[in-house]
Structures are given as structure tokens and as C-alpha cells.
A and B are shown apart, each in its own frame.
Chain A
Amino acid sequence: MTLTPSTRASLLLRLRDSQDRDAWAEFVNIYEQTIYRLLRHNGLQDADAREVLQELFLIVNRNIERFEYDREKGTFRGWLRRVSRNLVINWLKHRDRRLTPRGGSDMQSMLDMIPSDGPESTQFDREFHRAVFHRAAELVRAEFHSETWQAFWETGVLGISPADTAKKLGMSVGAVRVAKCRVLARLRVAVTELEAIQ
């Protein structure tokens, strides 16, 4: 029994869409962290920060149709980055005025507004970079033996000497040194890749 051409086409569509959905999740994950931390750093409570995050999602989701067409050209991510960056920076600037998305021309101007280079945008970029690092670390960690990762973590992040780490983990000092550098090198590739797709 052969499939009809229309079924085949829709299967392809589904596949492409599901891959895209994963890419979307990967992408959004980094933004979620970025924005959450940015809001918390600006004095919001956990629950409040989550609420703002949710409102951002509502706005993005409500306006997403307009940008679906451009997705093929890869502008969807660019759009999402611009929109979430603008929204959160503007939100921080006019905090007393609630976000309450209502659509319409007002909404459009909010989406299109280019935030001036204030402390908020510097903060945003810093948090974004940090979120990329954390995601990269999460992905890279799975590729290494736990003791390799541990050796990197102790020496590279916590700043413990290779000798002490070697003693603690029961490895040779040379092995600790190699482990640290292996993870660092791999991380560099992962961070570059993630930044490129964002």
C-alpha cells in the first residue's frame, strides 16, 4: 500500500516542524534563563519574575504568526531575540506601568522600539552570554566521564590547584591538567556554536 502524495508531504512537514520545535526549545531555554536572572537582579521576587516571563511569552506567542513566513530565511530567531530583549528592557525601564499585552499599534511600537544603550541592555547581553555558557556546559558535560568533568570543575571553575584536585579525585596531576584543558577546548566550540545559532 503506497501513501498518497499529500500524506507524504505532510509527513515531511511534520518532521521539519518537530526539528524546528526542538531548536525553538533550545533557543527559548537560553532566553528564559537570561530574562529570569535579569529580572531577579533588578529586585523582582521569584514568582513575579516568572509572571513577567509568562507575559513575555504571551506577547511573543500572540505576535508569532506574523513572523512564521520569514522563518525559512532564519529571521525568526533574530526576531525573537530582538523582541524579548526589547520587551524586557522596556519593562525594566517603565516598571510601574504594567506590561499587559493588548495588541494593536501600541503593541507594535513596543515591539519595534529599539532600546537605547542603557545599563539594562548591557545587563541583558551579559546575562545572555552567561546563559549560553550554562547551556553549553550542560550539553558538554554529558560528553565527558564524570571524573574528567569534575577535574575541570575543581581546577577551572573553583580554582583549586591541580595537585590538590589530583589527590582528591585519585588521578595523576597530568591527567587533571589534560582533563581541564579538554573540557575548556570543547566548551569553547560549544559556546561559539550556540552563539551562532542564537
Chain B
Amino acid sequence: MRGKITKASRHVNQNEGLIFEKSSPGKRAFDLPPLDVAPVDPRNWLGESYRSEGVDGFPEVSEIEVLRHFTRLSTWNYAIDLGMYPLGSCTMKYNPRVNEFVARLEGIATEHPLAPQDLSQGCLKILRLLEDCLLEITGMDAVSLQPSAGAQGELTGLLLIRAYLESQGNPRKTVLVPDSAHGTNPATAVIAGYAVENIQSDSRGQIDFAKLGERVNEDVAALMLTNPSTLGIFEKQISEIVEILHAKGALLYMDGANMNALAGVARPGDFGVDVMHLNLHKTFSTPHGGGGPGAGPVAMKKILEPFRPIPVLVEKENHELALEENRPRSIGRLRAFGGNFGVLVRALAYILAYGPGIRQATEDAVLNANYIRKKLEDAFELPYNLPSMHEVVFSDARQKARGVSTMDIAKRLIDYGFHPYTTAFPLIVHGALMIEPTESESKEECDLFIEAMLSIAEEAASDPDLVKHAPHSTRVSRLDETAAARKPILRWKPNR
């Protein structure tokens, strides 16, 4: 007869505690090679700066405990390696493993950014090739690989615009942001020193062209546009939008989060974008790693090139590559050293794997999204009936009639073995379900997803409580976010 089981529970694995709870004085997980010089007494050399008590609370565990602890934690995560993430605008595609291998090569992972540049030509060539590839893909004239993430790319773009407009005599005051935009857009505009004005979408989910015409004046520095939009729909009037802006001396910034619908098929530089960022951790397959790191390179038209952040990659007369800092008109440095170089390596490896065939990935991404749309449009409300590109947005309007929301449906999807799609975004769709399968999903996986969603739609009608209280199969059920915010506990303390 078994006693009460304290270790195992449903949905995988041990009830693993915090590493601090396994700690016991004297255990060690790491041995250092012996010191080849005489050890010093830190007290003598550091004086008052000496930390006499050590790092209080730091764990003391053994190597196997560390390995087991984190391995167990990992089994509580969903991951691309396990299945689809239909997260709209996140582009959760396959993270090729060869990219991990090359980023770790001795000679690449080991290179110090301040080494003499003639000794780091390997790294500089990688940067150069990636720059060339991104220029080809975007159709722009110049690029900076420094920004650490999309948000920093957005800031770079707006600072470039500001510097350019300043050189024309007036940096202007306002940036227009569609109400369907990602939150980083307005947040970034404010950091760049601009006031934000929201531009409403029209009834088709596109930029309200008439309103845009009214709002663009000589106080407007730029429009920040995502294209295709966060609804997955291409802005058909893109040329007219560009014309309106340029007529008043304003520029078009494109948020490149949705490049997965365009790479190899159309180039933002061709349809009039002045400056844009790319998300290498989206379109270019670098791994999300639980939230980062990413990279947000910025591609721009010639007029913005003189203001590029430093350092700038140049080719010297002897054909050697160098990173140049002496750029009087530059907007300055955005971060120390060159950028998230390891992420840039992975993105280049991805591009090299595809070559010109990168178009096929884009086509498969759009094919998957439209296939899913077709199979779900009878069960879920489609708020905007324009053609979808790489992602489709439904709403929970039909399910709401039985009190079931997009969040509930998303949580129930977990029981079917999938990560939820993007809920509650974009803001212009009430109760949004934003679905982006990416090209990495097979027909089989897409069919499984479709079956799951149709089953949930049926459950929402016949057994709504089952959906409203989902997930049922996970290690933890819905977590109390209210308590976490009212009385935040943000670190472990002994005796807690």
C-alpha cells in the first residue's frame, strides 16, 4: 500500500524546489585549476572594499544537483522543439542547431571586441556578409547591425529620422502610431523625444487613409507602420501612404516584425520605406531562449546613412575591414561594443542555409496561415475579411456568447499539446486570436492544430466550463496574477 506521494505529480516530473532550498554548506559543484602564482590575502589588497562575509545566501550544491535541477525545470517548459507556437507576430520558427554550433566555434566565441581589428577579420567578414544579405532582402541602402533587439532598432530608426530632420532644420514634434501597433512603438517614440499621436485603423483594419491625410503636417516626423499589419494584412495603399508622408517631409518607419510574409517576395525599400528594423529572433530563426537575446538591425535609405550609429563597418584601401568610430554626424553609440554578435552569426548561418531559396520559406509561411484560416473560419469570427498573409486574426465573438473568451480558448489549447496563440493583441480587435504558424509547421502539425481548435469551439458551445477552467493537464493551473502584483515576492529569502 503506497503512502502519500510527495514527489511526482501530473504533467511531468518532480516538484522541484528552488536551488537555494537544496543548499547545504560545504557542497561544491566546481573545482578550479590550481593557482600558478602565490595566493594573496584579499584583506591586504582590498582594505575597506573587502567583502568579509562572502556572498550571503549563494547556493552550495554539487554538480549533479545543478544538472538535475535545471534539467527538471526545463521539462516544465513548452518549446519549439516540442511543437507549434502559433503566436501571431512572434514568428516562432525552427531554430537550426548548426547555428548554435557555429556560434560556439573557438575563434568566434572567443574573440574580444577590442582586439586589434586587423586580427579580427573573420568576425568583420561575418558582419559584412550579413549586412550585404540584409540589404538584398530589404532593398535598402545601408544597415546597422548594432541594435540589441527590435525595440532598440525602433529607437535607432527614430533617432536617425530625428537627426536627418534636424539637419533639414526642424526635428519636428510628433510620431504617428497606428492603434494596431506593438507596444514598443509608442514607448520608443517617447524615448526618442517625440509625442505620440494614435492613428485609427479603418473598418478594414488598414490605416485610415483619409485620417492620415488630415493628420500629416509639418509637425509630424514619421509614421511607424507594421506591414503587413499586426492583423497579417498588407497595406494596399502603401504607395499613397508614402506619398502623403513625403509630400510633407515626413518619413516612413517600418516595424519589420512581420518580414516573414515578405522575405524574397517583396522588399520594403521598393515600396517606399525610409527606415526599418528587422527582428533576427523572429524572421531569421535565432532562438528566443525564454525571452531573449535577440537583435534588431536597422536598414535605411541613403539619406539616413550619414547618421548611422557608431561603429560603422567600412572597407579600407587595402581591402581590410574595420569598424570606424570617427563619424561626426552619427547619432552616437547605442550600446557598448558592436552588438549581439553571437545572434548575428546565427542569423547569417540561417540565411546561408536558404540562399535565394529563402522565398520558399515565406511562401510556406503564408500557405500555412491561409490553410489554417480556411479551416477555422466557419468556427471562429473573422473580424476583417481581407486576405491574410503569414498570420490570421480571429475574434472570440461567437464563443463570448457562452462566456468563453480568447484567453480561455488559449488555455484550453494547452490541454491539446499546443502553446497558445497571441491573445488580446492587436488592441483593435476585441478578444483577438492571433495565429501565425510559420513555415516550420508540417501539414500534419497544422491539421492537429486545426482539429484542436475546432474541438475547443465545440466545447465552448456544449461544455463552456471545461474551457473556462482550462488548462487541466498542466503541472500548475492558472496562477494568481493578482496576488503576485498586489504583494510582489520577487526573490527568495531564507525562512520563507
- A and B bind: no
Interfacial residues, chain B to chain A (CB-CB below 8 A): none
Interfacial residues, chain A to chain B (CB-CB below 8 A): none
